[in-house]
Structure formats: C-alpha cells, structure tokens
Amino acid sequence: MRAVRVVQPGPIDTLDLSLQDVPEALPGPGQLRLRILACAVCHTDLHLAEGELAQARYPITPGHQVVGRVEALGEGVPGWRIGERAGVAWLHSVCGECAACRRGESNLCPQAKFTGLHVDGGFADSMLCQASFAYRLPPHLPDLQSAPLLCAGIIGLRSLRKADLAHGERLGLVGFGASAHLALQVARAWGCEVHVFTRSMDHRRHALELGAAWAGGIEDPHTAPLDRVVLFAPAGDLVLHALRLLRPGGTLAINAIQMSTIPAFPYQILYGERTLRSVANATYQDGVDFLALAGRLGLQVTASAYPLSEAGRALSDVKHSRLDGAAVLIP
C-alpha cells in the first residue's frame, strides 16, 4: 500500500513527503483495518512533520482524522462488520486503570497513545485502529465533510467546554481555521454572540458568513468585553491579547498541543478571577458527544480536497493559512 512517511522532520516547505510503498498490516486482537476514504489535515500533523513534538517517534505516518471502511477484523471485535464506515481520531488507546482514567480524564492518561504520533495514522491507503476507539459517523455527511469532525470538531467542543461557555454568552475565537469554524457554529447554536480575531481577510469573511457578530484583528479596537475566549493560534504572545479581552471572571482556554513561549505579563490582566487553562487532547466520550451534536445541528463543514500525493502542499497551505476550513487528503 501507499503511505506518506515522515522519516526526518524539517521545514514543511522543503520536506520530502513523497509516497512510499509499505507492507499492509494484518489487524491484531481488538483491531480493525480500514480502507481509508478521507483523512483531514491538522496543525498537529504540521508540528509532527516539522519536528516540534518531543514525544513523536520517526518514521511515522501522520493523520488522525480518518474516515474509512472496515476491510478486516481482528479477533475479539464485536459490533463491527466488513464494509461499515468508521472514524478514527487522535486518541488511539489508554490504560483504563490510572487515576486519570478512573476520573474520566483519559485524555490525560500518562500511558495514552495517539494516532499518527505513536502509531501510524491516516496519510495512507489503509491503517489499523483499536475497534473500541473507532466512531460511528453521521450517515448523511460525505467523507470529505466527516473527516474534519474527528479532531477539529471534537477538540473544538472540548475547548468550548473548558472555556466554561454557557448559552447566550459572548465568545471570542482567536485564530480561525478548521477547528474554529466548527466551534463557531456550535456556539451560535447555543445562542452565543461570537467575535473572531484573525489576520486573514478571507477568514474574517468566512467567519461572518457562518454567523460571527464581529471579525477583525486582535489589535483592532474592540470594546465589548468577552465572557470566554478560545485561543487556536499557537502563538504565546496572543495569550496576553486574549486575556485583555476577557471580563472579570471570564475564562481563556488555549487549544494547542504546542505553542511558542508565553511572554511575562502583568498580574493585573489575569486578576479579577479570570481563568487561564490549556486544553489537552480529548476523551473518547468527547467524540461520541460531538458526533451526535454534529448530526443534530447539520454543521456546515468547509473542506478542500487534496490527493494523497500532495500531502506536503496541504500541510503548507495549513501552515500559511491559504484555505478556509480544513484540508482533506483523499487516497
């Protein structure tokens, strides 16, 4: 089969991500083998390709927003049949026994393994996954639109939850890519007024088309205090700008697996019982919840298709914000 392999990470605009021929694996106990139909591209895949994730192992096949059809079953796999469509997300497996798992915080399991980081992912013709971590997908959504739900959508919902967003509040989204364009629609369904901060004029237009009340730059005049803010851009200096947008008692959630250093800042912009927290991965249940919500809300998923052979171009377009919504690889 064909796969995109990151052997030696480096700058994405010069990195060789040509397709390689690799053996097709047989599913082990509790596993599915999927024939991949679509795999969305995430900023995490970009960090992986550029060598910014210390826990990565190389060579590795990236990709953790996978839509596929079951083509082989390992031993002891109930509930799945050959030919069914399945989704695979970032969380590959957890221990199920540690304190974090027992608390329902399996996203923080110290023994967690992640798709496209510790095990080969979906930038390929086929892949293996744990059957117990595979998802049923909304049947009415095509493969191209389903793939971004599996990380961009799931982590977007967790970010709104970790921001303590309540129905009817005023929300700020800093950065506007694949995850933010879905989070905006969820927030609007909850009756929230959404303000979007992005440098891209195209992204501002996209945000307004999806129902944002305001879209502009982070340093543009903005007088409305925000109840909650989610930061999607992996730039530490934006934390200070985002904190200044918050009302007293508000929450800033940082949705980033990696980001640049947060500069020192005066205590006064955090004072007033403002909360600053990170968002780390997502639980399997977050995925179940979000996919059910996506099915009910009829989310508008903006996605651009790329052939598998152009994974490097897709990652470069993500890095340089050259597209609205998500990039999706189609084998």
* 175 and 129 within one domain: no
pLDDT for residue 54 is more than 90: no
Nearest CA among 99, 76, 148 for reference residue 303: 148
Among 71, 51, 69, 68, CA closest to 60: 51
At 254 the pLDDT is: 98
Q: What is the pLDDT of residue 153?
A: 97
From 67, 173, 152, 155, select the one nearest 326 (Cα to Cα).
Answer: 152
Last residue of a domain, one of 243, 260, 279: 279
Note whether 96 and 230 are same-domain residues. Answer: no
- The whole-number average pLDDT for the span 223-236 is 94
In this prediction, residue 268 carries a pLDDT of 97
What is the predicted pLDDT for the residue at 215? 97
175 in the same domain as 93: no
* Domain tally, the chain: 2
- My answer on whether 16 and 112 are in the same domain is yes
CA angle 257, 144, 140 (to 5 degrees): 115
What one-character DSSP code corresponds to residue 135? B
Digit-coded pLDDT (tens) for 125-168: 999 999 999 999 988 899 999 999 999 999 999 999 999 999 99
Q: CA–CA separation, 207 vs 211, rounded Å?
A: 7
| Phi, psi angle pair for 122, to nearest 5° | -100, 10
β-pair partners for 39: 66, 329
* Segment 236-256 mean pLDDT: 97
Helix axes 201-209, 178-189, angle to 10 degrees: 30
**Least confident segment among 106-110, 221-225, 231-235:** 221-225
Provide the percentage of residues in the chain whose pLDDT is more than 70.
100
| Tens-place pLDDT, residues 265-312 | 999 999 999 999 999 999 999 999 999 999 999 899 999 999 999 999
Measure CA 120 to chain center: 17
pLDDT confidence of 61, banded at 50, 70, 90? very high
185 near 211, Cβ under 8 Å?
A: yes
- For 277, which DSSP code? E
Q: Give residue 138's pLDDT.
A: 87
Q: What is the pLDDT of residues 72-89, one digit of tens each?
A: 999 999 899 999 999 999
pTM, 2 dp: 0.95
| pLDDT at residue 44, rounded to an integer | 96
Domain that holds residue 23: 2-151+282-330
Instruction: Please indicate, yes or no, whether residues 261 and 229 belong to a single structural domain of this protein.
Output: yes
Predicted confidence band at 223 (pLDDT cuts at 50, 70, 90)? Answer: confident
Phi, psi of 261 (to 5 degrees): -60, 135
Judgement on whether residues 134 and 47 belong to the same structural domain of the protein:
yes
Residue with tokens 């509790």: 30
Closest listed residue to residue 114, CA positions, set 142, 139, 136, 93: 93
CATH number where 179 lies: 3.40.50.720
Q: Are residues 183 and 300 in the same domain?
A: no
Question: What CATH number is associated with residue 28?
Answer: 3.90.180.10
User: What mean pLDDT is reported for the chain?
Assistant: 96
- Residue 212's pLDDT band (boundaries 50, 70, 90)? very high
Q: Three-state SS for 301? A: coil
Peptide bond just before 59 cis, omega within 30 deg:
yes
What is the C-alpha to C-alpha distance for residues 70 and 59, in angstroms, rounded to an integer? 25
287 and 196 share a domain?
Answer: no
In a shared domain, residues 253 and 176 = yes
Q: Domain check: are 121 and 160 in the same one?
A: no
Q: Report d(CA 192, CA 207) in Å as an integer.
A: 14
Stretch 259-265: mean pLDDT, rounded? Answer: 95
Q: Clarify whether residues 141 and 187 are in a common domain.
A: no
Residues 201 and 296 in one domain: no
